[in-house]
Chains A and B, each alone.
Chain A
Amino acid sequence: GAVVSQHPSRVICKSGTSVKIECRSLDFQATTMFWYRQFPKKSLMLMATSNEGSKATYEQGVEKDKFLINHASLTLSTLTVTSAHPEDSSFYICSARDRVSGRTGEQFFGPGTRLTVL
């Protein structure tokens, strides 16, 4: 149980294009999903918290217009990197909190998406 998937697992795109990453909770409902960014050999940096049916809450320093987050259902959240540039290249990981049985602070993570912007 508590499986989170991400798609795609890897994407390479040209500078200036937009990339959409999907995060799905496969066997549970997730009222809250989180998006992280991770640089090589670094810890996870929380970008934003998304709640189903409402606007995402972004962490300080994260550009809302750059990283568009949509959480349209209890099992799906999407992150769109708009007008991507090489500095946006990173490992993006989502996590989800089980709406029914989630313990405080407990998050289940997806496998991550590696974005490379040329």
Chain B
Amino acid sequence: EIVMTQSPLSLPVAPGEPASISCRSSQSLLHSNGYIYLDWFLQKPGQSPHLLIYLGSNRASGVPDRFSGSGSGTIFTLNISRVGAEDVGTYYCMQALQTPYIFGQGTRLEIK
């Protein structure tokens, strides 16, 4: 089973400032087809999660371009170029290379 480790677990950010969340996997998420099977989700308070980034770096439909995903192999990053109040919530990475799919512990982003 692949282990997913996120950091930090709590992230206070001032409005308009950038934010970065790291996710590490215990084995490479690079498939032989060349795709990286790493997704990012945001769960806003009181809501269902929603998909932000799929296959490592592809923004899901409707996701603002201030969100970006990067990384390769076992180390991945979600970047938010300018944090706004609407970005508050818990961010999760998830490996989808093999079952069981595994989520990271979550990173709680709050506004300073």
Task: Tell me whether A and B are bound partners.
Answer: no
What is A's interface to B at a CB cutoff of 8 Å?
none
